Amino acid sequence: MEDNYREAATYGWEAITETFESIYPGQTDPLHYGTIVSYMLGGNDPLEGVSVYDGGDFWHFVTYGFSNLYENEDDNKDSEWSGSGFELTLKLKKIPSVVLSETEDLEIRNIAGVLQGLARYVFSSGKGFYPYEYIYTKQENGFDAHQQSKLTGFATLPDIAGTIDTPNGKVEFVCIVGLTDKELKSIYDKEHTIKEILELLGSDLTDYSRDDVI
């Protein structure tokens, strides 16, 4: 009885996992960063976890926690969307010729922390992140672990994982891409649209080594 309940209770979580296992066949045990103390019990991290899949020349992150992972406890259970209706993803370009070095491990953990920070904003404000928006805090230091890159914020676009149907409702995977301060300012000042910057970028990878595209 207990096993059957556990299987039924985690179908939101399982739907996310099954989606990414279909994109990355054979990766049934990806890197995963969970929370020690649940947010509901006073912990600092709203997300239940972040998984990281090996995409070849990049690491593909996916969050667990913006959508309903367990039973559907929304006040509006008739909604077609699960929870906030999305999960965030990010594709971090690997450091060339390095096999999960201490430096790269630090950057992977750092991105998991960045995603938790974005989740704190969503959970406190009630606002979500959807495709073709931008996240600009006007910070001038990079969001990489050593704050040495030019990437200071993000633009959003649909992730390759698309939108899935779960027993709790639909979930859209929204990819966040690192942008430089100059690129973000141009969007903020309406000199370029988000789609124009993304077109100039020509990639959905977050690449700490790149320069401005404008």
- pLDDT surpasses 60 at 137: yes
Q: Judge whether 169 and 68 are in contact, CB under 8 Å.
A: yes
DSSP state of 118: H
39-64 confidence digits (pLDDT tens) = 766 778 899 999 999 999 999 999 99
Cβ atoms within 10 Å, residue 81: 19
CA distances from 98 to 57, 75, 104, 151 (A): 10, 47, 8, 21
Q: What is the dihedral of CA 47, 52, 53, 56, to 10 degrees?
A: 140
DSSP state of 92: E
* Distance separating alpha carbons of residues 64 and 38, to the nearest angstrom: 13
* Distance separating alpha carbons of residues 90 and 52, to the nearest angstrom: 9
- What's this model's pTM, rounded to 2 decimal places? 0.91
Over range 183-196, report the average pLDDT: 97
Name the 3-class secondary structure at 60: strand
82-115 confidence digits (pLDDT tens) = 999 999 999 999 976 545 566 889 999 999 999 9
Question: Which pLDDT band holds residue 77 (cuts at 50, 70, 90)?
Answer: low
CA distances from 95 to 120, 148, 209 (A): 28, 14, 9
